[in-house]
Amino acid sequence: MRIPLAAGNWKMNLSRDEAIALAQAIKEQASDSQRVDVLLCPPAVYLDAVCKIVEDTLIGVGSQDVFWQPEGAYTGEISAPMVRGMGCSYSIVGHSERRHLFGETDEEVNWKVKAAQQNDLTPILCVGELLEERQAKQTDKVITRQVEAGLEDLDADDVLNLIIAYEPVWAIGTGEVARPDQANEVHGLIRSILQDRYDTSISNGMRIIYGGSVKPDNIAGLIAQSEIDGALVGGASLKADSFLEIIEGCA
Ligand code: PEP
Catalytic residue among 95, 104, 108, 133: 95
Q: Which of 16, 3, 1 is closest to 251 using CA atoms?
A: 3
Q: Is 14 helix (H, G, I), strand (E, B) or coil?
A: coil
173 lines ligand 1 (CB under 6 A): yes
Q: State pLDDT tens for residues 151-171.
A: 999 999 999 999 999 999 999
Residue 80 pLDDT? 98
* Domain extent at residue 160: 5-236
For residue 243, tell me if it sits in a domain: no
Does residue 85 belong to any structural domain of this protein? Answer: yes
In a domain? residue 207 = yes
Which ligand 1 atom minimizes the distance to the CA of 9? 2
The strand pairing partners of 37, in sequence order, are 5
Assign residue 33 the CATH number of its domain: 3.20.20.70
Is 152 an annotated catalytic residue?
Answer: no
Active site residue 167: yes
Does 12 reside within a domain? yes
Q: pLDDT value at position 177?
A: 83
Q: Look at strands 90-93 and 37-41 and give their pairing.
A: unpaired
Q: In a mutational test of the pocket of ligand 1, which residue from 167, 170, 174, 239 has the highest number of ligand atoms less than 8 Å from its CB? A: 167
What is the average per-residue pLDDT within 18-27? 97
Position in ligand 1 atom list of the atom nearest CA 172: 10
Q: Which H/E stretch holds residue 157? A: helix 156-160
Size of the chain, expressed as the number of residues it contains: 251
- The number of folded domains in the chain is 1
Q: What is the pLDDT of residue 173?
A: 83
What is the per-residue pLDDT across 63-122, written as a single tens digit (0 to 9) for each? 999 999 999 999 999 999 999 999 999 999 999 999 999 999 999 999 999 999 999 999
Give how far the C-alpha of residue 112 lies from the chain's centroid of Cα atoms, to the nearest Å: 14
- What pLDDT is stored for residue 214 in this prediction? 96
Q: Among 152, 167, 187, 245, which one carries the catalytic annotation?
A: 167
CA-proximal residue: ligand 1, atom 1 (nearest): 234
CA–CA separation, 143 and 39 (whole Å): 24
For residue 8, which phi and psi values (nearest 5 degrees)? Answer: -105, 120
Q: Is 194 a pocket residue for ligand 1 (Cβ < 6 Å)?
A: no
Q: Is residue 247 part of a domain?
A: no
d(CA 62, CA 91): 5
pLDDT score recorded for residue 57: 93
Under a CB-based contact definition with an 8 Å cutoff, are residues 26 and 45 in contact?
A: no
Q: Which ligand 1 atom minimizes the distance to the CA of 167? A: 5
Of 3-12, 170-179, 242-251, the least confident: 170-179
Amino acid (one-letter) located at 140:
D
| d(C-alpha 122, C-alpha 91), whole Å | 6
Q: Which amino acid is at 113?
A: V
With b for 16 or more beta-carbon neighbours within 10 A and e for fewer, the 237-248 pattern comes to: bbebebbbbbbb
- Kindly state whether residue 175 falls inside one of the protein's structural domains: yes
239 pocket-lining for ligand 1 (C-beta < 6 Å): no
Task: Report yes or no: 5 and 39 within 8 Å, Cβ to Cβ.
Answer: yes
40/16 Cα distance (integer angstroms):
15
Q: Which atom of ligand 1 is nearest to the CA of 237?
A: 8
pLDDT score, position 176? 83
**pLDDT surpassing 80 at residue 32:** no
- How far from 181 is each of 31, 137, 176, 210, CA to CA, in Å? 30, 16, 14, 12
On whether residue 228 sits in a domain, the answer given is: yes
Answer whether residue 57 is part of any domain: yes
